[in-house]
Amino acid sequence: MKLQHLAIGARFEYEGQVFVKTGPLTASSEDGGQRIIPRHAVLRPLDLPSVEGKGRLEAPVVRMAFNAFVETCEQLVGEAGQAELEQARQRFLKAIDSSRPL
C-alpha cells in the first residue's frame, strides 16, 4: 500500500519501524522522530478497519434514521428554528427521492 492511500493518523510499518501518518509525505515513528516517506514506498498498513459487506442502504432504514435525527433537532432548535428545519428536511427528502437508489 502507498502512503497516499492512508488517512492522516493511520498506523503503518515501513522498513521495520511503525509510523503514524502526519501529512501527505510525512510520518512520525513510535520513537518520536519525523520522517519523509517516499511516494514509491510500499507500506504495510496496521489497524485496518474490518470491511464487512454491508451493501447498499435500504431507503426505509435511511428515512427512519433521518426522521429520528430530525425529531432530536426539533427539540434542540426551539420554536424559532422550526420552519427552517422543516425546509431543510423537505430539501433532504426531495434530494434522496430524486437521486438514484441508496
pLDDT digits (tens, 9 = 90+) for 45-88: 997 665 565 667 777 888 888 889 999 999 899 898 999 999 99
DSSP the chain: --GGGSPTT-EEEETTEEEEE-SSSEEEETTS-EEEPPTT---EE-SPPP-----PPPHHHHHHHHHHHHHHHHHHHTGGGHHHHHHHHHHHHHHHHHS---
- pTM score of the predicted model: 0.47
> Of 30, 22, 29, 18, which Cα lies nearest the Cα of 6?
22
pLDDT digits (tens, 9 = 90+) for 10-58: 999 999 999 999 999 999 998 888 999 999 999 999 976 655 656 677 7
